[in-house]
Amino acid sequence: MEMANLTCVAPNYFAEYSYKLPTIINNGQWEANVNCPIHKFNDRLTFEVRDYVAPRFRIDIDTPPVYLCTTSDEPLIIKLKATYTFGKPVNGYAHFKISIHRNSFEQKSKVTCLDPTTGTLEQSITLASNFCKNQHLPQRLLIEAIVTDLSTNQKDSATSDRTFLAKFPYRIWTRFTNLVYRPRLANYLAFELTDYDNNPMANIPIEIEMTDSNLHNIKPYIITSDDHKNIRTDSNGLVIFTFKIEESIGPLQIRISSRDPKYRQEQQTTLELSVFQFDYVNQNENDQPVILISNKKQMWYQAGQHYRSSIVHDGNIDVDQIYLIIKRHESIIQFSHINSSSLTIDIRLTNQMAPSIRLLVFAFTRSNDQHESRLVADFYRILVRQNDCGVQVKLDDNIVAKPGQNVTFTFNGHSGDVVALTAIDESVKILTSKNISSSNLKRDQSLQPIYRQFMPDFDITNPKLYYRSTDSISLIEDFGLTILSTLKSSTAQIGRYRRSIQFKCDQLTKHPCCQLAQSKFKKWISCEEKLFRLIKHLNRTDNKDCLRVSMPATIVQYEKTEISATVYNYYNESLSTTVHFYHVDGLCSDAYRSLDKATSKVTIMANGSETLIFPIIATRIGEFILRISAKSAIWSDFVEKNLIVLPPGERIEYSHSSDLDPTNRSKHINKMTEVIDEIYPERKYQKINISFHVDNNANIVPGTIYHRLSLIGRRFEPQLKSPDELAHLIRRRKSCGEQTAFYMAFNLHTLLYLQETGRLNRTLRKRGVRHLKRSFTDLISYRKPMDGSFAAFINRESSVWLTTFVANLLCHSEQFLGDEFDINLLSKSLDWIMRHQSMLGSWSELTHIHHRHADGGSNNDDDTLTAFVLITLHHCDSFITRKNFSGTLQTNWSKDYLETSRKGYGYLLDVISRTNHSYTMAIILYSLLLSPSSLSKTDSYNLMNHLLLQPDRHQDAKLNQMYYDMGSLTVETSAYVLLGLG
């Protein structure tokens, strides 16, 4: 390979070097080394070269968007097409697996041959009753297609989650409308019809019924449909209608239903709701003031269009005090006074307003001797689609190009657009998108959900607060503003149905000009006379600072790092801002030259931002405080952040724990290669000698060796050693079947822990697997071959708890046992366990357990044993499903497990409602949570809340610990609670 000498020049202290790799023919690993002899620093880059493996074939699955549980007699129709990457149909056969997310139940279809000429398949599958029974609908069906090629006998699969399991075909939303009405004015209501993927459903027949409290019909006027007898949704899935009521008649009842001819009457989606009067104070008061934005006939607009609307009002409204606020996201982009002569709104919509803006119109009533001044308001949201935005790409007529042929692309955009083009081979695209479900691919091709995806504060399940407001004050507050009275005005009177405020309207008229100001934690609109303020409160999570600094929490010594400082301008005018980056000893930066600060001046456009980059290189190890400030003519801001500089190289930790026992009560002497305990009981003196040896002392960064001593006081000897000393748990068993199972559990769970934490080296794994296989061989000698059960001794009666414990070990140890693992051996034990379930759904122990200290509380009674058995059966079912062992079992495992778990969970649901024992509640609740269909979210929350309020739960504020004081079951109870919370 090539060698190069590079020199790093101040103040950047970095250099770039590129090397063109030769054509790599063979697979293998390559290395690139960088050495700095002065600072004794080196780095290495390793990369691997592998053969490119093209996908075998492409599988497209077509399923209906929804399958109704009310049509259980109708089959689910699945269409499949399998082709090779070059377009030829696959000659083979396929079958399907259908399941529900987080549900162990699975249904398989029969194997069917593909059409050899087209590679297609259409199959009708009748779903089992388990899919709709005890399910919280809607649920997404997971449909997996497994295709086998007859010529090569190779398999490939694809998954679709496009189909929803539901009771009704559509959803009806009220998220774009406020369910209120104003007497004597034209009111607008909007309903949205979507599928369960949140896609709008266009041209669907709709039926609307509206009645008052006396069941008198109210006929609405449909805006979005020309045919008022046959109402249909528009292209956005919306139905907008208007109605007018002359006086207050109390709540209105609305019933809206779909009338899709593809579904029967009982299958149609129906929504019933109530509409209340806005600003309702007194039913006998007919002259209540109201104000309304009259144009609410459509919601979606295109950028470049104008939104025009008149402001209509009724009652004692002061037309000289009507104001308009427009917000996009959390920023106020316009605050203006509406001309009393025209009372109209005219807004030109721009691309910057996408995806939506919100309009708030508020006014004040005239005060007199009988009535004080009040605030009335109305709200409307406009959804904006961008127009003439982005780049259009066109390909020339030669769509099919030969290798080496030039292809011409034409880009149509705007001046200053940046264009990037990436060409991807189709086979690579199929390979990278293999795990992407077909429903996601379909959503990517739809424009409407893209707007919903990028729409801020858009929730598809809960309507926004401003759509739930039933009075003007709540509407303004939910819009993001708070009304405060001033010292010059009287105190605001707060009532049950309204809140009002007094102020001097004539002075407000003289000073209508308000400006938007920004501080560290508040953003407000303040009038010059401060007669009233509309204040936007921001907590720290929503805080929009003028200066925001982005940087890593830790960096490595001598490595270049960039500190990003973004300055924001919330004003409607440009601001000249000065940014200072202050010098810190030990950090090399642009401020190093002056030893004070580096200064940058920048002009920020109105409602814009600018980002400045400050490169730094740490020359010392430790913790430093970075300081950056920004100042303009109106505001100033200052940020301090901590930065930790770590030494280069790999951090190596060596840990050891010893028991402080100077009187030698435990009669234990610890002698290891690196550690020797010297104990002198007569002097009550103990000396611990630890020898620290490093393979290569020359590679240790100077000044980075440190020691830490932790002392933990306990009444008894600590049960857990440090992670590096877990090897003492890997040992061979002695004595009966129970002890053999315990030693096998020690070995297994130690191996699993070391493997998950990356501490399982080759030597320790070889040793652990050797002992694990020996324990497995010894454990089989306590197995009764006739029924597959286990006992402490072969001539004793079989134990339900021990057989369950061993089955759990076998499910988790398959990866270490290799060829010695036999699935039918496990299946026979599980079959024996399920056959000993009682008619009530519980399990009872059949014999005496010799080592009761080892089974914890899982065998206290039938309740805890039943929970323990169901937990094991769930783990084994997940293991069998994950490893695809269902087809090789000699028993009908899936059917037997579902029936057994159904009875068991039914028994536990009855028990947990009556018990008040913390351990029993914890293990039962964890067992129930493993089966989502057994508990509703509300029940699980209530049970967990009840468990967390148990009197034996303790909180240690000093150690920041929570535990359940259950004596010998303290650790086990706390562990099951944590598993339930996870």
Same fold, 57-166 and 723-912: no
Residue 281's pLDDT is 56
- Using the predicted structure, report yes or no on whether residue 174 has a pLDDT greater than 60: yes
* Vertex 794 angle, CA 793 and 796, to 5°: 65
- Using the predicted structure, report yes or no on whether residue 401 has a pLDDT greater than 70: yes
Show Cβ contacts of residue 167 under 8 Å, excluding neighbours closer than 6 positions.
68, 69, 70, 137, 138
pTM exceeds 0.75 for this model: no
- Using the predicted structure, report yes or no on whether residue 490 has a pLDDT greater than 50: no
Task: Express each pLDDT in 9-31 by its tens digit.
Answer: 554 445 566 666 666 667 777 77
- Using the predicted structure, report yes or no on whether residue 538 has a pLDDT greater than 60: no
Distance CA 661, CA 147 (A): 66
- Using the predicted structure, report yes or no on whether residue 547 has a pLDDT greater than 60: yes
DSSP string, 272-329: EEEEEETT---TT-TT--EEEE---S-SEEETT-EEEEEEEEESSEEEEEEEEEEEET
Residue 589's pLDDT is 87
| pLDDT band, very low/low/confident/very high, at 722 (cuts 50, 70, 90) | very low
Distance CA 132, CA 105 (A): 12
> How many Å separate Cα 534 from the centre of its chain?
35
The arithmetic mean of pLDDT across residues 794-802, rounded, is 86
Calculate what percentage of the chain has a pLDDT beyond 90: 14
Among 933, 944, 936, 939, CA closest to 979:
944
Task: Return the higher-pLDDT residue of 84 and 832.
Answer: 832
**pLDDT winner (highest mean) among 101-110, 540-549, 623-632, 756-765:** 623-632
The arithmetic mean of pLDDT across residues 652-675, rounded, is 62
640-644, 728-732, 885-889: least confident range: 728-732
Report helix, strand or coil for 337.
strand
Residue 51's pLDDT is 65
Element (H, E) at 598: strand 597-604
Residue 453's pLDDT is 40
CATH 2.60.40.10 at 542-644, yes or no: yes
**Region at 930 (left for phi over 0; alpha for psi -120 to 50; beta for the rest):** alpha
Residue 354's pLDDT is 83
Q: How far is CA 962 from CA 430, 923, 957, 958, 970, in A?
A: 50, 17, 9, 11, 11
Phi/psi at 285 (5° precision): -90, 100
User: Do 837 and 843 meet the contact criterion of CB atoms below 8 Å apart?
Assistant: yes
Residue 765's pLDDT is 86
47-51, 136-140, 325-329, 667-671: least confident range: 667-671
Q: Which pair of tokens denotes residue 271?
A: 């929504």
> How many Å separate Cα 410 from the centre of its chain?
40
User: Do 567 and 547 meet the contact criterion of CB atoms below 8 Å apart?
Assistant: yes
Beta bridge partners of 20: none
Task: Express each pLDDT in 298-353 by its tens digit.
Answer: 888 988 899 999 999 888 888 888 999 998 877 788 888 898 888 999 999 988 78
**Side chain identity at residue 139, one-letter code:** Q
User: How many CA atoms, within 13 angstroms, populate the side-chain half-sphere of residue 258?
Assistant: 26
- The position carrying tokens 């997940």 is 878
Task: Express each pLDDT in 189-219 by its tens digit.
Answer: 999 999 988 889 999 999 999 998 888 888 8
Distance CA 393, CA 413 (A): 9
Task: Return the higher-pLDDT residue of 34 and 79.
Answer: 79
- Using the predicted structure, report yes or no on whether residue 1 has a pLDDT greater than 50: no
Distance CA 822, CA 811 (A): 11
Task: Express each pLDDT in 945-965 by its tens digit.
Answer: 888 888 788 877 666 678 887
Distance CA 789, CA 783 (A): 6
Task: Express each pLDDT in 40-57 by its tens digit.
Answer: 566 777 777 776 555 567
Distance CA 776, CA 886 (A): 23
Show Cβ contacts of residue 830 under 8 Å, excluding neighbours closer than 6 positions.
807, 873, 876, 893
- Provide the 8-state DSSP code for 934: G
| Domain 57-166 class in CATH | mainly beta
Give the architecture-level CATH label for domain 168-277.
Sandwich (2.60)
Domain boundaries, the chain: 57-166, 168-277, 473-537, 542-644, 650-719, 723-912
User: Do 328 and 357 meet the contact criterion of CB atoms below 8 Å apart?
Assistant: yes
Distance CA 476, CA 291 (A): 13
What mean pLDDT, rounded, does the chain reach? 76
Task: Express each pLDDT in 495-505 by its tens digit.
Answer: 322 233 333 33
Q: How far is CA 691 from CA 676, 695, 757, in A?
A: 9, 13, 25
CATH of domain 723-912: 1.50.10.20
Task: Express each pLDDT in 573-604 by its tens digit.
Answer: 888 999 999 988 888 888 876 668 889 999 99
Residue 346's pLDDT is 93
Counting DSSP H helices and E strands in the chain, the numbers are 14, 50
Distance CA 935, CA 905 (A): 9
Beta bridge partners of 29: 48
- The position carrying tokens 């004595």 is 735
**Side chain identity at residue 666, one-letter code:** S
Residue 685's pLDDT is 78
